Amino acid sequence: MTNKNKTVWSSRFKNSPSQSFQRIGASINVDKRLYEQDIFASKIHTQMLIKKKIIPAKEGKKIIKGLDKIKRQIKSGKFKFKEKFEDIHLNIEKKLYEIIGDSAGYMHTARSRNDQVVTDFKLWVKDSSLVLIKELNSLMKNLIIKADKNVGTVMPGFTHLKNAQPVSFAHYLLAYYEMLKRDKQRFYNNLELINESPLGAAALSGTSYNIDRNFTSRKLGFKKPTNNSIDTVSDRDFAIDFLYACAVCAMHLSRLAEDFIILNSDAYQLISFNDKMLTGSSIMPQKKNPDPAELIRGRTGINYGKLNSILTIMKGLPISYFKDLQDDKALVFDGYDTLKDTLLMSNELIKNVNPSKTRMSDMAKTGYTTATDFADYLVKDKKLSFREAYKISSKIVNYAEKNKKNLDELTLNEIKKFYKNLDNNVLKIFNVKHSMNSKNSYGGTSERNIKNMISKYKKELK
Protein backbone atom coordinates (compact mmCIF):
# COMPACT_ATOMS: atom_id res chain seq x y z
CA MET A 1 0.00 0.00 0.00
CA THR A 2 1.37 3.41 -0.85
CA ASN A 3 1.86 5.85 1.98
CA LYS A 4 -0.84 8.02 0.45
CA ASN A 5 -3.48 5.39 1.10
CA LYS A 6 -2.38 4.42 4.58
CA THR A 7 -4.19 5.47 7.74
CA VAL A 8 -2.21 7.68 10.12
CA TRP A 9 -1.95 4.80 12.60
CA SER A 10 -0.93 2.12 10.05
CA SER A 11 2.57 1.86 11.55
CA ARG A 12 1.03 0.13 14.57
CA PHE A 13 -1.35 -2.19 12.70
CA LYS A 14 -0.81 -5.34 10.69
CA ASN A 15 -4.27 -5.19 9.10
CA SER A 16 -6.80 -2.60 8.01
CA PRO A 17 -10.19 -2.47 9.71
CA SER A 18 -12.78 -4.76 8.14
CA GLN A 19 -14.51 -3.55 4.99
CA SER A 20 -17.86 -3.39 6.71
CA PHE A 21 -16.50 -1.45 9.67
CA GLN A 22 -14.77 0.98 7.37
CA ARG A 23 -18.15 1.76 5.85
CA ILE A 24 -20.17 1.78 9.07
CA GLY A 25 -17.55 3.48 11.22
CA ALA A 26 -16.71 6.26 8.79
CA SER A 27 -18.39 9.56 9.59
CA ILE A 28 -17.08 11.50 6.62
CA ASN A 29 -20.43 11.65 4.86
CA VAL A 30 -21.86 13.40 7.88
CA ASP A 31 -18.99 15.43 9.30
CA LYS A 32 -17.71 16.80 6.00
CA ARG A 33 -20.22 19.48 6.87
CA LEU A 34 -17.66 20.69 9.44
CA TYR A 35 -14.95 21.36 6.88
CA GLU A 36 -14.93 25.16 7.24
CA GLN A 37 -14.77 24.97 11.02
CA ASP A 38 -12.08 22.28 10.86
CA ILE A 39 -9.87 24.29 8.52
CA PHE A 40 -10.43 27.48 10.49
CA ALA A 41 -9.49 25.78 13.78
CA SER A 42 -6.45 24.07 12.23
CA LYS A 43 -5.18 27.39 10.91
CA ILE A 44 -5.54 29.06 14.33
CA HIS A 45 -3.89 26.06 15.98
CA THR A 46 -1.00 26.28 13.52
CA GLN A 47 -0.61 30.04 14.09
CA MET A 48 -0.33 29.32 17.80
CA LEU A 49 2.25 26.57 17.23
CA ILE A 50 4.33 29.03 15.20
CA LYS A 51 3.95 31.84 17.72
CA LYS A 52 5.01 29.60 20.59
CA LYS A 53 7.90 28.21 18.49
CA ILE A 54 6.56 24.70 18.89
CA ILE A 55 6.90 24.10 15.14
CA PRO A 56 9.22 25.88 12.65
CA ALA A 57 7.51 28.95 11.13
CA LYS A 58 8.48 27.76 7.65
CA GLU A 59 6.50 24.52 8.07
CA GLY A 60 3.61 26.31 9.71
CA LYS A 61 3.24 28.72 6.82
CA LYS A 62 3.16 25.83 4.36
CA ILE A 63 0.42 24.21 6.44
CA ILE A 64 -1.70 27.36 6.44
CA LYS A 65 -1.35 27.81 2.68
CA GLY A 66 -2.16 24.16 2.11
CA LEU A 67 -5.27 24.41 4.28
CA ASP A 68 -6.47 27.40 2.27
CA LYS A 69 -6.04 25.40 -0.89
CA ILE A 70 -8.02 22.50 0.55
CA LYS A 71 -10.81 24.87 1.49
CA ARG A 72 -10.99 26.13 -2.08
CA GLN A 73 -11.03 22.57 -3.38
CA ILE A 74 -13.88 21.56 -1.11
CA LYS A 75 -15.84 24.72 -1.89
CA SER A 76 -15.57 24.15 -5.62
CA GLY A 77 -16.55 20.50 -5.29
CA LYS A 78 -13.16 19.21 -6.46
CA PHE A 79 -12.23 17.51 -3.19
CA LYS A 80 -12.75 13.75 -3.08
CA PHE A 81 -13.83 12.65 0.39
CA LYS A 82 -12.62 9.16 1.24
CA GLU A 83 -14.41 6.77 3.57
CA LYS A 84 -11.07 5.11 4.15
CA PHE A 85 -9.90 8.15 6.09
CA GLU A 86 -12.90 8.00 8.37
CA ASP A 87 -13.73 11.59 9.10
CA ILE A 88 -13.24 15.19 8.04
CA HIS A 89 -10.18 15.67 10.25
CA LEU A 90 -8.19 12.83 8.71
CA ASN A 91 -9.43 13.52 5.18
CA ILE A 92 -8.04 17.03 5.45
CA GLU A 93 -4.78 15.93 7.06
CA LYS A 94 -4.25 13.30 4.35
CA LYS A 95 -4.95 15.84 1.61
CA LEU A 96 -2.48 18.22 3.24
CA TYR A 97 0.22 15.55 2.83
CA GLU A 98 -0.65 15.32 -0.86
CA ILE A 99 -0.31 19.08 -1.28
CA ILE A 100 2.69 20.02 0.91
CA GLY A 101 4.35 16.68 1.59
CA ASP A 102 5.89 15.78 4.96
CA SER A 103 5.49 19.32 6.34
CA ALA A 104 1.88 18.30 6.93
CA GLY A 105 3.16 16.09 9.73
CA TYR A 106 3.73 19.16 11.95
CA MET A 107 0.06 20.15 12.09
CA HIS A 108 -1.24 17.63 14.60
CA THR A 109 1.27 18.62 17.29
CA ALA A 110 -0.23 19.25 20.74
CA ARG A 111 -3.77 18.30 19.81
CA SER A 112 -5.92 15.23 19.30
CA ARG A 113 -8.99 14.54 17.23
CA ASN A 114 -10.82 14.48 20.55
CA ASP A 115 -10.39 18.20 21.22
CA GLN A 116 -10.41 18.96 17.50
CA VAL A 117 -13.85 17.50 16.93
CA VAL A 118 -15.48 19.29 19.88
CA THR A 119 -13.91 22.55 18.76
CA ASP A 120 -15.28 22.19 15.22
CA PHE A 121 -18.63 21.05 16.49
CA LYS A 122 -19.01 23.90 18.97
CA LEU A 123 -18.13 26.41 16.26
CA TRP A 124 -20.77 24.85 14.02
CA VAL A 125 -23.47 24.89 16.70
CA LYS A 126 -22.67 28.55 17.43
CA ASP A 127 -23.06 29.55 13.78
CA SER A 128 -26.17 27.47 13.31
CA SER A 129 -27.86 28.85 16.42
CA LEU A 130 -27.53 32.31 14.88
CA VAL A 131 -29.12 31.08 11.65
CA LEU A 132 -32.11 29.72 13.58
CA ILE A 133 -32.39 32.95 15.59
CA LYS A 134 -32.58 34.83 12.29
CA GLU A 135 -35.36 32.55 11.05
CA LEU A 136 -37.19 33.02 14.35
CA ASN A 137 -36.92 36.79 13.97
CA SER A 138 -38.43 36.68 10.55
CA LEU A 139 -41.32 34.52 11.76
CA MET A 140 -41.91 36.87 14.68
CA LYS A 141 -42.00 39.83 12.28
CA ASN A 142 -44.62 38.13 10.15
CA LEU A 143 -46.72 37.34 13.22
CA ILE A 144 -46.68 41.03 14.08
CA ILE A 145 -47.69 42.04 10.55
CA LYS A 146 -50.63 39.63 10.66
CA ALA A 147 -51.58 40.68 14.19
CA ASP A 148 -51.41 44.36 13.29
CA LYS A 149 -54.12 43.81 10.67
CA ASN A 150 -56.37 41.92 13.09
CA VAL A 151 -56.36 43.86 16.34
CA GLY A 152 -60.14 44.33 16.11
CA THR A 153 -60.92 40.83 14.79
CA VAL A 154 -63.01 39.07 17.47
CA MET A 155 -62.90 35.30 17.67
CA PRO A 156 -64.01 32.81 20.30
CA GLY A 157 -61.18 32.01 22.69
CA PHE A 158 -61.28 28.35 23.71
CA THR A 159 -60.51 26.31 26.76
CA HIS A 160 -60.96 22.55 26.39
CA LEU A 161 -61.83 23.46 22.76
CA LYS A 162 -65.16 24.78 24.08
CA ASN A 163 -66.05 28.41 23.48
CA ALA A 164 -64.79 30.29 26.51
CA GLN A 165 -64.48 34.07 26.11
CA PRO A 166 -64.13 36.45 23.16
CA VAL A 167 -60.54 37.31 22.23
CA SER A 168 -58.82 39.21 19.46
CA PHE A 169 -57.27 37.13 16.66
CA ALA A 170 -54.23 39.40 17.05
CA HIS A 171 -53.95 38.51 20.74
CA TYR A 172 -54.13 34.84 19.85
CA LEU A 173 -51.35 35.20 17.25
CA LEU A 174 -49.19 37.17 19.64
CA ALA A 175 -49.36 34.34 22.16
CA TYR A 176 -47.14 32.52 19.67
CA TYR A 177 -44.89 35.57 19.44
CA GLU A 178 -44.18 35.18 23.15
CA MET A 179 -43.38 31.48 22.77
CA LEU A 180 -40.98 32.16 19.90
CA LYS A 181 -39.35 34.92 21.89
CA ARG A 182 -38.54 32.41 24.62
CA ASP A 183 -37.28 29.98 21.98
CA LYS A 184 -34.92 32.63 20.71
CA GLN A 185 -33.70 33.29 24.25
CA ARG A 186 -33.09 29.56 24.71
CA PHE A 187 -30.68 29.59 21.75
CA TYR A 188 -29.02 32.74 23.10
CA ASN A 189 -28.65 31.14 26.55
CA ASN A 190 -26.89 28.20 24.92
CA LEU A 191 -24.47 30.57 23.25
CA GLU A 192 -23.35 31.66 26.71
CA LEU A 193 -22.66 28.14 27.96
CA ILE A 194 -21.01 26.90 24.78
CA ASN A 195 -18.55 29.76 24.77
CA GLU A 196 -15.45 27.91 26.06
CA SER A 197 -12.73 26.70 23.73
CA PRO A 198 -11.89 22.97 23.86
CA LEU A 199 -8.74 23.26 21.78
CA GLY A 200 -5.64 22.18 23.74
CA ALA A 201 -7.35 19.57 25.91
CA ALA A 202 -5.78 17.10 23.45
CA ALA A 203 -6.70 13.44 23.91
CA LEU A 204 -7.94 13.90 27.48
CA SER A 205 -5.15 15.07 29.76
CA GLY A 206 -3.91 18.31 28.21
CA THR A 207 -0.45 18.59 26.74
CA SER A 208 3.16 19.08 27.80
CA TYR A 209 3.84 21.53 24.98
CA ASN A 210 3.92 25.18 25.97
CA ILE A 211 0.69 26.01 24.11
CA ASP A 212 -1.30 29.23 24.45
CA ARG A 213 -4.93 28.29 24.93
CA ASN A 214 -5.96 31.90 25.52
CA PHE A 215 -4.66 32.81 22.08
CA THR A 216 -6.53 30.01 20.28
CA SER A 217 -9.66 30.61 22.32
CA ARG A 218 -9.68 34.32 21.47
CA LYS A 219 -8.93 33.79 17.79
CA LEU A 220 -11.64 31.16 17.47
CA GLY A 221 -14.16 33.55 19.01
CA PHE A 222 -14.63 31.83 22.36
CA LYS A 223 -14.74 33.70 25.66
CA LYS A 224 -12.18 31.52 27.44
CA PRO A 225 -10.58 28.06 27.33
CA THR A 226 -12.35 25.17 29.11
CA ASN A 227 -11.09 24.39 32.62
CA ASN A 228 -10.80 20.61 32.69
CA SER A 229 -9.31 18.58 29.86
CA ILE A 230 -11.22 15.39 30.71
CA ASP A 231 -14.56 17.15 30.85
CA THR A 232 -13.71 18.97 27.63
CA VAL A 233 -13.42 15.88 25.44
CA SER A 234 -16.38 14.06 26.99
CA ASP A 235 -18.83 16.94 27.26
CA ARG A 236 -21.70 17.13 24.76
CA ASP A 237 -24.01 19.29 26.88
CA PHE A 238 -23.91 21.97 24.22
CA ALA A 239 -25.31 19.55 21.63
CA ILE A 240 -28.03 18.44 24.05
CA ASP A 241 -28.92 22.05 24.88
CA PHE A 242 -29.12 22.82 21.19
CA LEU A 243 -31.36 19.84 20.46
CA TYR A 244 -33.52 20.70 23.45
CA ALA A 245 -33.95 24.26 22.21
CA CYS A 246 -34.84 22.85 18.77
CA ALA A 247 -37.34 20.41 20.29
CA VAL A 248 -39.14 23.07 22.35
CA CYS A 249 -39.32 25.42 19.38
CA ALA A 250 -40.66 22.60 17.18
CA MET A 251 -43.25 21.85 19.87
CA HIS A 252 -44.46 25.47 19.79
CA LEU A 253 -44.71 25.45 16.01
CA SER A 254 -46.53 22.14 16.18
CA ARG A 255 -49.14 23.68 18.48
CA LEU A 256 -49.57 26.59 16.08
CA ALA A 257 -49.94 24.16 13.17
CA GLU A 258 -52.45 22.07 15.12
CA ASP A 259 -54.45 25.18 16.04
CA PHE A 260 -54.54 26.20 12.40
CA ILE A 261 -55.55 22.72 11.26
CA ILE A 262 -58.50 22.81 13.65
CA LEU A 263 -59.51 26.37 12.84
CA ASN A 264 -59.31 25.58 9.12
CA SER A 265 -61.36 22.38 9.42
CA ASP A 266 -64.82 22.24 7.87
CA ALA A 267 -66.28 22.02 11.36
CA TYR A 268 -64.76 25.36 12.40
CA GLN A 269 -64.07 27.34 9.21
CA LEU A 270 -62.55 30.18 11.21
CA ILE A 271 -59.49 30.57 9.00
CA SER A 272 -58.56 29.65 5.45
CA PHE A 273 -55.27 29.33 3.61
CA ASN A 274 -54.17 30.59 0.22
CA ASP A 275 -53.75 27.76 -2.28
CA LYS A 276 -49.95 27.95 -1.81
CA MET A 277 -50.42 26.23 1.55
CA LEU A 278 -52.78 23.51 0.34
CA THR A 279 -52.71 20.33 -1.71
CA GLY A 280 -55.45 18.38 -3.45
CA SER A 281 -56.58 14.79 -3.29
CA SER A 282 -55.95 12.16 -5.94
CA ILE A 283 -59.51 10.86 -5.63
CA MET A 284 -61.70 13.56 -4.07
CA PRO A 285 -61.98 16.53 -6.46
CA GLN A 286 -63.36 18.87 -3.80
CA LYS A 287 -60.45 18.57 -1.36
CA LYS A 288 -57.97 21.22 -0.24
CA ASN A 289 -55.74 19.84 2.49
CA PRO A 290 -53.39 21.82 4.77
CA ASP A 291 -50.32 19.60 4.21
CA PRO A 292 -47.61 22.10 5.25
CA ALA A 293 -49.27 22.58 8.65
CA GLU A 294 -49.41 18.82 9.06
CA LEU A 295 -45.71 18.45 8.26
CA ILE A 296 -44.85 21.13 10.80
CA ARG A 297 -46.80 19.18 13.40
CA GLY A 298 -45.46 15.77 12.42
CA ARG A 299 -41.79 16.66 12.19
CA THR A 300 -41.74 17.70 15.81
CA GLY A 301 -41.42 13.96 16.31
CA ILE A 302 -38.09 14.07 14.51
CA ASN A 303 -36.84 16.88 16.73
CA TYR A 304 -37.90 15.03 19.89
CA GLY A 305 -36.25 11.87 18.56
CA LYS A 306 -32.87 13.52 18.08
CA LEU A 307 -32.92 14.90 21.63
CA ASN A 308 -33.93 11.55 23.05
CA SER A 309 -31.19 9.78 21.08
CA ILE A 310 -28.38 11.99 22.25
CA LEU A 311 -29.51 11.82 25.88
CA THR A 312 -29.53 8.04 25.62
CA ILE A 313 -26.10 7.89 23.99
CA MET A 314 -24.67 9.96 26.84
CA LYS A 315 -26.34 8.34 29.81
CA GLY A 316 -24.05 5.38 30.41
CA LEU A 317 -20.90 6.69 28.85
CA PRO A 318 -17.86 6.70 31.11
CA ILE A 319 -15.71 9.76 30.63
CA SER A 320 -13.90 10.62 28.44
CA TYR A 321 -14.00 9.98 24.63
CA PHE A 322 -15.71 6.96 23.08
CA LYS A 323 -16.74 6.28 19.52
CA ASP A 324 -20.36 6.42 20.68
CA LEU A 325 -19.94 10.18 20.58
CA GLN A 326 -19.39 10.22 16.84
CA ASP A 327 -23.13 9.98 16.15
CA ASP A 328 -23.78 13.26 17.96
CA LYS A 329 -23.24 15.16 14.76
CA ALA A 330 -25.78 13.36 12.60
CA LEU A 331 -28.36 14.01 15.34
CA VAL A 332 -27.58 17.69 15.63
CA PHE A 333 -27.41 18.24 11.87
CA ASP A 334 -30.75 16.48 11.35
CA GLY A 335 -32.34 18.37 14.22
CA TYR A 336 -31.12 21.65 12.76
CA ASP A 337 -32.20 20.87 9.18
CA THR A 338 -35.63 19.75 10.33
CA LEU A 339 -36.27 22.79 12.49
CA LYS A 340 -34.98 25.18 9.84
CA ASP A 341 -37.44 23.78 7.31
CA THR A 342 -40.20 23.85 9.90
CA LEU A 343 -39.48 27.52 10.55
CA LEU A 344 -39.56 28.26 6.83
CA MET A 345 -42.91 26.51 6.43
CA SER A 346 -44.33 28.24 9.51
CA ASN A 347 -43.32 31.58 8.06
CA GLU A 348 -45.19 30.82 4.85
CA LEU A 349 -48.17 29.54 6.79
CA ILE A 350 -48.48 32.81 8.73
CA LYS A 351 -48.19 34.89 5.57
CA ASN A 352 -50.89 32.84 3.85
CA VAL A 353 -53.52 32.51 6.56
CA ASN A 354 -56.77 34.50 6.34
CA PRO A 355 -59.18 34.88 9.22
CA SER A 356 -62.86 34.50 8.29
CA LYS A 357 -63.91 37.56 10.25
CA THR A 358 -67.70 37.23 10.05
CA ARG A 359 -67.61 33.58 10.96
CA MET A 360 -65.23 34.32 13.84
CA SER A 361 -67.49 37.02 15.21
CA ASP A 362 -70.60 34.85 14.79
CA MET A 363 -68.98 31.93 16.56
CA ALA A 364 -67.70 34.20 19.33
CA LYS A 365 -71.36 35.02 20.06
CA THR A 366 -72.33 31.38 20.48
CA GLY A 367 -71.57 29.27 23.53
CA TYR A 368 -72.58 32.07 25.98
CA THR A 369 -69.04 33.48 25.94
CA THR A 370 -70.06 36.66 27.78
CA ALA A 371 -71.59 34.90 30.78
CA THR A 372 -68.53 35.80 32.87
CA ASP A 373 -68.88 39.45 31.80
CA PHE A 374 -72.43 39.54 33.15
CA ALA A 375 -71.32 38.08 36.48
CA ASP A 376 -68.53 40.65 36.64
CA TYR A 377 -71.04 43.41 35.89
CA LEU A 378 -73.20 42.38 38.85
CA VAL A 379 -70.13 42.40 41.08
CA LYS A 380 -68.90 45.79 39.92
CA ASP A 381 -72.23 47.60 39.51
CA LYS A 382 -74.50 45.87 42.02
CA LYS A 383 -71.85 44.97 44.60
CA LEU A 384 -72.78 41.27 44.68
CA SER A 385 -70.22 38.67 45.65
CA PHE A 386 -68.71 36.88 42.65
CA ARG A 387 -70.19 33.52 43.67
CA GLU A 388 -73.69 35.06 43.97
CA ALA A 389 -73.28 36.78 40.59
CA TYR A 390 -72.00 33.53 39.03
CA LYS A 391 -75.19 31.76 40.15
CA ILE A 392 -77.47 34.38 38.59
CA SER A 393 -75.48 34.40 35.35
CA SER A 394 -75.60 30.62 35.07
CA LYS A 395 -79.39 30.74 35.41
CA ILE A 396 -79.52 33.18 32.48
CA VAL A 397 -77.34 30.78 30.45
CA ASN A 398 -79.76 27.94 31.22
CA TYR A 399 -82.65 30.13 30.11
CA ALA A 400 -80.90 31.17 26.87
CA GLU A 401 -79.98 27.58 26.12
CA LYS A 402 -83.57 26.42 26.63
CA ASN A 403 -84.89 29.19 24.40
CA LYS A 404 -82.18 28.71 21.75
CA LYS A 405 -80.89 32.26 21.96
CA ASN A 406 -77.42 33.75 22.16
CA LEU A 407 -76.88 35.94 25.22
CA ASP A 408 -76.84 39.10 23.11
CA GLU A 409 -80.28 38.21 21.76
CA LEU A 410 -81.98 38.37 25.19
CA THR A 411 -84.27 41.34 25.90
CA LEU A 412 -84.01 43.49 29.00
CA ASN A 413 -87.24 41.99 30.31
CA GLU A 414 -85.94 38.46 29.92
CA ILE A 415 -82.77 39.34 31.80
CA LYS A 416 -84.71 41.10 34.53
CA LYS A 417 -86.43 37.82 35.38
CA PHE A 418 -83.15 36.84 37.02
CA TYR A 419 -82.08 40.14 38.53
CA LYS A 420 -84.59 42.98 38.87
CA ASN A 421 -82.54 46.10 39.33
CA LEU A 422 -81.24 46.49 35.75
CA ASP A 423 -81.63 48.98 32.89
CA ASN A 424 -80.69 49.10 29.19
CA ASN A 425 -77.01 49.64 30.08
CA VAL A 426 -76.72 45.96 30.83
CA LEU A 427 -77.30 44.95 27.22
CA LYS A 428 -73.85 46.02 26.02
CA ILE A 429 -72.32 43.61 28.52
CA PHE A 430 -73.34 40.75 26.24
CA ASN A 431 -71.65 42.28 23.21
CA VAL A 432 -68.52 40.28 22.32
CA LYS A 433 -66.45 43.24 21.18
CA HIS A 434 -67.32 45.08 24.36
CA SER A 435 -66.28 42.03 26.32
CA MET A 436 -62.97 41.78 24.48
CA ASN A 437 -62.14 45.44 25.01
CA SER A 438 -63.03 45.32 28.68
CA LYS A 439 -60.08 42.94 29.29
CA ASN A 440 -57.74 45.80 29.95
CA SER A 441 -55.55 44.24 32.61
CA TYR A 442 -51.88 44.06 31.58
CA GLY A 443 -51.53 41.19 29.11
CA GLY A 444 -55.28 41.08 28.42
CA THR A 445 -57.00 41.03 25.04
CA SER A 446 -58.30 44.63 24.79
CA GLU A 447 -57.42 46.43 21.57
CA ARG A 448 -55.62 49.12 23.59
CA ASN A 449 -53.37 46.52 25.23
CA ILE A 450 -52.67 44.76 21.97
CA LYS A 451 -51.71 47.98 20.22
CA ASN A 452 -49.30 48.80 23.04
CA MET A 453 -47.78 45.34 22.86
CA ILE A 454 -47.39 45.51 19.10
CA SER A 455 -45.45 48.76 19.28
CA LYS A 456 -43.28 47.28 22.03
CA TYR A 457 -42.64 44.15 19.93
CA LYS A 458 -41.78 46.23 16.88
CA LYS A 459 -39.14 48.08 18.87
CA GLU A 460 -37.60 44.97 20.40
CA LEU A 461 -37.35 43.24 17.02
CA LYS A 462 -35.38 46.06 15.44
Active site residues: 160, 281
- 304 or 321: whose CB is closer to ligand ARG? 321
* Sign of the C-alpha dihedral computed for residues 34, 38, 39 and 40 taken in this order: positive
Residue 27 interacting with ligand ARG (CB under 6 A)? yes
Q: Which stretch binds ligand ARG (CB under 6 A): 70-78, 295-303, 321-329, 343-351?
A: 321-329
Dist CA 245 CA 239 (whole Å): 10
**Cα dist from 301 to 139, 295, 393, 417, whole Å:** 21, 10, 44, 54
Which span sits near ligand ARG by CB under 6 A: 208-216, 320-328, 353-361, 385-393? Answer: 320-328
**Min separation Cβ 117 and ligand ARG, Å:** 4
Please tell me whether residue 325 binds ligand ARG under the rule CB under 6 A: yes
CA angle (265 as vertex; 262, 269 as ends), nearest 5: 105
Name which of residues 270 to 309 contact ligand ARG (CB under 6 A): none
Q: Of the two residues 233 and 407, which places its CB atom closer to ligand ARG in the complex? A: 233
> Residue count at the site for ligand ARG (CB under 6 A)?
9
Which span (46-54, 318-326, 359-367, 370-378) binds ligand ARG, by CB under 6 A? 318-326
In whole angstroms, how close is the CB of 149 to ligand ARG at the nearest point? 49
What gap in Å lies between CA 58 and CA 69, rounded to an integer?
A: 17
The answer to whether 100 contacts ligand ARG (rule: CB under 6 A) is no
Tell me how far apart the alpha carbons of residues 329 and 115 are, in angstroms, rounded to a whole number: 15
> Which of 327/362 has CB closer to ligand ARG?
327
| Chain mean position to CA 304 | 12
- Rounded least distance, CB 324 to ligand ARG, Å: 9
What is the distance between the alpha carbons of residues 20 and 25, in angstroms, rounded to a whole number?
A: 8
Q: Is 117 in the site for ligand ARG (CB under 6 A)?
A: yes
Q: Does residue 216 touch ligand ARG according to CB under 6 A?
A: no
The residue among 127 and 401 lying less far from ligand ARG, judged by its C-beta, is: 127
264 within 8 A of 273, measured Cβ to Cβ: yes
Question: Minimum CB separation from ligand ARG for residue 336, in Å?
Answer: 16
Q: What are phi and psi of 223, to 5 degrees?
A: -75, -40
State in angstroms the smallest separation of the CB of 6 from ligand ARG. 17
Query: Cβ closer to ligand ARG: 115 or 408?
Result: 115
d(CA 32, CA 87): 7
454 binds ligand ARG per the rule CB under 6 A: no
Whole-number Å distance between alpha carbons of 278 and 291: 6
Q: Exactly one of 326, 370, 431, 438 binds ligand ARG (CB under 6 A); which one?
A: 326
114 binds ligand ARG (CB under 6 A): yes
Residue 72 beta carbon to ligand ARG: minimum distance, rounded to whole angstroms: 24
Q: Which one of 71, 113, 184, 306 is in contact with ligand ARG (CB under 6 A)?
A: 113
How far apart are CB 258 and ligand ARG at their closest, in Å? 37
Q: Does 353 bind ligand ARG (CB under 6 A)?
A: no
The stretch near ligand ARG (CB under 6 A) out of 112-120, 415-423, 434-442, 448-456 is 112-120
Choose between 326 and 369: whose C-beta lies nearer to ligand ARG: 326
Q: Does 87 bind ligand ARG (CB under 6 A)?
A: yes
- 441 contact partners, CB below 8 Å, separation of at least 6: none
Question: Does residue 42 touch ligand ARG according to CB under 6 A?
Answer: no
Nearest distance from C-beta of residue 314 to ligand ARG, angstroms = 13
The residue (of 92 and 407) whose beta carbon lies closer to ligand ARG is 92
Which CB atom, from 17 or from 444, has the smaller least distance to ligand ARG?
17
Q: How far is the CB of 31 from ligand ARG (least distance, A)?
A: 6
Q: Is 321 in the site for ligand ARG (CB under 6 A)?
A: yes
Does 393 help bind ligand ARG (rule: CB under 6 A)?
no
Residues interacting with ligand ARG, by CB under 6 A?
A: 27, 31, 87, 113-114, 117, 321, 325-326
